[in-house]
Amino acid sequence: MIKLTKRQDEILQIVKQNGPITGKEIAEKLSLTRAALRPDLAILTMSGNLDARPRVGYYFNDNFEVKQQAKKFIHQKVNDYKAHPIVVEKSTSVYDAIVQLFLEDVGTLYAVDSEGLLAGVISRKDLLRASLGNKNLNDLPVSVIMTRMPNIITIEPEETLLEAAKKMIHNHIDSLPVVKVEDQLKNTYLLVGRITKTTITRAYLEIMEEKTD
Ligand code: ADP
């Protein structure tokens, strides 16, 4: 994204508020000559900030701003948006996991082993399925019902939110554990966070509502 000069910014504001507006009118508002403005107007139209129509004048390109914002969104890193993972021990009962899910107000829990390494994912549906026709939820450990390694789809802190969104949509899942890989061959991953569909929606809102002016 090119950095605009103070004058180019002023021109943008004038066009935003008054467009379509001719070069002559912009020049008058800035107490400059038409010739002095020409290079700035050329830059602003070439970069896509402004559009120009013969005999109509310059007008502000709304799409340009939206596209710039969307580009920003694509490059955001998982690390800057990840939330705390809510974890349980593999030996936790399904009953306690359900309680935990409500207490923490999340949709997914992560199971870890005694060294804090990711062992499994327990989602709402996993818990509902386990509860159907199963009377003794206190005696059933989550390790029996969870999705476990090597079937867990993970994401690393340096990957982008776009990558996270793709993984969730393509795999029909609501969240991803953010991990630091200890040993890929042994499937040992240190759990450092979580990304959910809500994370993506929130990031999208934040970026799109960010003022560019
Ligand atoms: P919900 O159960 O609330 O619909 P999901 O759509 O995330 O939540 O989960 C659907 C299934 O996918 C569950 O069986 C869950 O264990 C599994 N799952 C969830 N997240 C992951 C993940 N990151 N990797 C692999 N499987 C997952």
Query: Domain holding 174: CATH number?
Result: 3.10.580.10
Tokens of 192: 């450092």
Binding pocket residue ranges, ligand 1, CB within 6 Å: 107-108, 121, 123-126, 147, 151-153, 173-177
Backbone phi and psi for residue 56, each to the nearest 5 degrees, phi listed first:
-105, -50
Domains identified in the chain, total number: 2
Are both 32 and 102 inside the same structural domain? Answer: no
Ligand 1 center from residue 179 Cα (angstroms): 16
Average pLDDT taken over every residue of the chain:
92
Are both 48 and 149 inside the same structural domain? Answer: no
Give the residue-averaged pLDDT of 82-101. Answer: 96
Q: Is residue 191 part of a domain?
A: yes
Are both 110 and 185 inside the same structural domain? Answer: yes
Q: Which residues contact 74 (CB under 8 A, 6 or more apart)?
A: 160, 161, 162
pLDDT of 1 > 70? The answer is no
213 falls in which pLDDT band (50, 70, 90)? very low
Question: Closest ligand 1 atom, CA of 128?
Answer: 2
Give the residue-averaged pLDDT of 43-47. Answer: 92
pLDDT of 2 > 90? The answer is no
Q: Which residues contact 168 (CB under 8 A, 6 or more apart)?
A: 174, 175, 176, 195, 197, 200
Q: Is residue 69 part of a domain?
A: no
Q: Which among 63, 89, 106 is the end of a domain? A: 63
Give the structural domain span for 126: 78-204
Give the residue-averaged pLDDT of 6-32. Answer: 94
